[in-house]
A and B are shown apart, each in its own frame.
Chain A
């Protein structure tokens, strides 16, 4: 009797505590969300004034109502500029890079997770090792190598060094470790080749993880700046972030395009995220970082 009573007491006070905790948390996250959104509001609001004003006044939450104009967007959509060439290039590079990376890394991860073979541990250690080494370290030698391989100024040059993304391999291997070997054996019994098993059985089973990694890889590719900036040198092949960054110069007069272009560049990936959000989270959770 007394024991039961005590349990109820604890439950009661913990309910109160929980309610307080919910209120505090709510307030906290509302505040945090607002802070996080401020830069977006600033740049969005700023895009409705003449581009030159953003350097004269900086970005803030308001604009001078007398200076309200849609010129930035008019210039973006109707003006003579390369923006949509860059945009198209970025879409192309991102699409190719995402598809290739997903195909190759899930293929490799399958090898690592479903077989025992000599050298497996050492090879997987190499995967982990590449995860820890910043790409920037090999910037200069890789650039020289690209010259020799005649990959300068090509999309292959942008994409190839990243298609065996070790993070993706690691991720897919984790995901596959949750899938039973019985599927593989069943496939063998059915007369599939080893690779057929991967293609016909595993690939469909891995769909949620593809969505998660797809967002991850696509995001990285869409936002990649440094390498494309170095390796592409013709205006017609430049990708969006590189093109946007090229607009920040005191010697040009492109602030209209810069600010409207910046706003517009966030949109597609944002829309994609809203669509695939569910997969992204479930994918991360399912395959995720279990250690």
Chain B
């Protein structure tokens, strides 16, 4: 190797052999794409949020967009919806898959691969197909699946997508349907790294299944949980297309299905108010960033790094 280095010096031909230059070449595509399609637009989002952008006319309007945002009740509704949605998806999509994965990890369970595959299938369908299907199953006509279920229990039909609570339920349901299988996969991958011996040692100590779960599985799967939590927060706060499909567009009754991104889309693209939409985007950026930082901090991600230095 040292031989190579000597030969390299400043000749073009030996450049491909230069291990000092190589890492930068390797990460160059990331830097380029990151710069052009991520960093620059983010900076632009901040700039745009201080502007009024109309076709052919751009005016700097200072904090006006943010002031408007502060008193915008529809925006507040969108935030409430997104936060409620995030709350429910986190509540259902983090612990349940963890438990399911643990159960599926029992070697003696017959057909466990089949179950795992079936639970994963919904993830393969697009939001569009999932949305169409759930929307039609939740149709307010008497013959739809959910209303015929209601009749089975002697209850009257429900206008599912017109009520706030059942509308939220529909959105959460689509999310759970599509993502439970994926999160199970993540947890099962994590479980493969926990050795049998640890569990056996608990067996010998007379520990029961709950204790194994509580004192071994959960703590050892913490990295996976943190990962699942992070992407779930990301996905839930930015949810839009689910609502777009369930409500046949970005126009739910009483704004029950309006999310933050839905509002960004409505103001920015549908009402041609790009600056205001950008302000909504900046707000979302800050919220997601803060929530994720708090979450990672809570789980001691940063402490660990400091300690290892």
Contact = CB atoms under 8 A, between A and B. Distances in A.
A116 B124 CA distance: 38
A241 B128 contact: yes
Interface stretch (B72-80, B87-95, B143-151, B162-170): B143-151
Interface string B255-269: 000000100110011
Contacts of B42: 133, 137-138, 141
A115 B26 contact: yes
Given A133-B285, A134-B237, A241-B127, A110 B26 contact: yes
Interface string B182-223: 000110111011000000000110101100000000000011
A161 B34 CA distance: 8
Contacts of B208: 17
B228 to A, nearest CB: 8
A266 B129 contact: yes
Contacts of A226: 240-241
B129 A133 contact: no
A193 B123 CA distance: 41
A201 interface: no
Interface string A161-184: 101100101000000000000000
A270 B1 CA distance: 48
B253 interface: no
A144 interface: yes
B22 interface: yes
A245 B126 CA distance: 10
A119 to B, nearest CB: 9
Given A58-B144, A291-B224, A134 B26 contact: no
B297 to A, nearest CB: 13
B81 to A, nearest CB: 15
Nearest to A111: B26
Nearest to A291: B223
A144 B44 contact: yes
Contacts of B292: 132
Contacts of B271: none
Given A36-B119, A40-B121, A26 B109 contact: yes
B132 A289 contact: no
Contact of A134 (B4, B139, B234): B234
A139 B278 CA distance: 8
B238 A258 contact: no
Contact of B129 (A10, A108, A265, A273): A265
Interface string B1-31: 1001000000000001111101111110111
B145 A58 contact: yes
B288 interface: yes
B144 A138 contact: no
A11 B143 CA distance: 53
A138 B180 CA distance: 28
Contact of A59 (B130, B144, B245): B144
* Size range of the chain A interface in the assembly: 35 or more
A68 B31 CA distance: 56
Contacts of A70: none
A144 to B, nearest CB: 7
Given A58-B143, A141-B41, A289-B223, A33 B118 contact: yes
A230 interface: yes
Contacts of A96: none
A275 interface: no
Given A10-B203, A22-B109, A144-B274, A133 B26 contact: no
A140 B143 contact: no
A284 B23 contact: no
Interface stretch (A75-83, A122-130, A203-211): A122-130
B124 A140 contact: no
Interface string A216-249: 0001001101100010000000001100110011
A34 to B, nearest CB: 9
B26 A137 contact: no
Contact of B19 (A140, A194, A285): A194
Given A28-B103, A289-B186, A39 B224 contact: no
A93 interface: no
B66 interface: no
By Cβ-Cβ distance, the 6 closest A-B pairs, closest first, are A111-B26, A291-B223, A58-B144, A58-B139, A134-B238, A193-B16
Given A26-B110, A133-B38, A141-B281, 15 more contacts: A29-B103, A32-B100, A39-B130, A111-B24, A111-B27, A115-B19, A136-B261, A137-B288, A140-B268, A141-B41, A144-B274, A248-B245, A248-B248, A290-B193, A291-B222
Interface of B: 1, 4, 16-20, 22-27, 29-31, 33-34, 37-38, 40-42, 44-45, 48, 100, 103-104, 106, 108-112, 114-115, 117-130, 132-134, 136-139, 141, 143-145, 147-148, 177, 180-181, 185-186, 188-190, 192-193, 203-204, 206, 208-209, 222-224, 226-227, 230-231, 234-235, 237-238, 240-241, 244-245, 248, 261, 264-265, 268-269, 274, 277-278, 281-282, 284-285, 288-289, 292
22 contacts: A29-B103, A29-B104, A29-B109, A38-B145, A42-B133, A46-B136, A54-B136, A108-B30, A132-B230, A140-B281, A145-B37, A145-B40, A160-B37, A161-B37, A167-B231, A241-B127, A262-B128, A262-B132, A266-B129, A281-B185, A284-B186, A289-B227
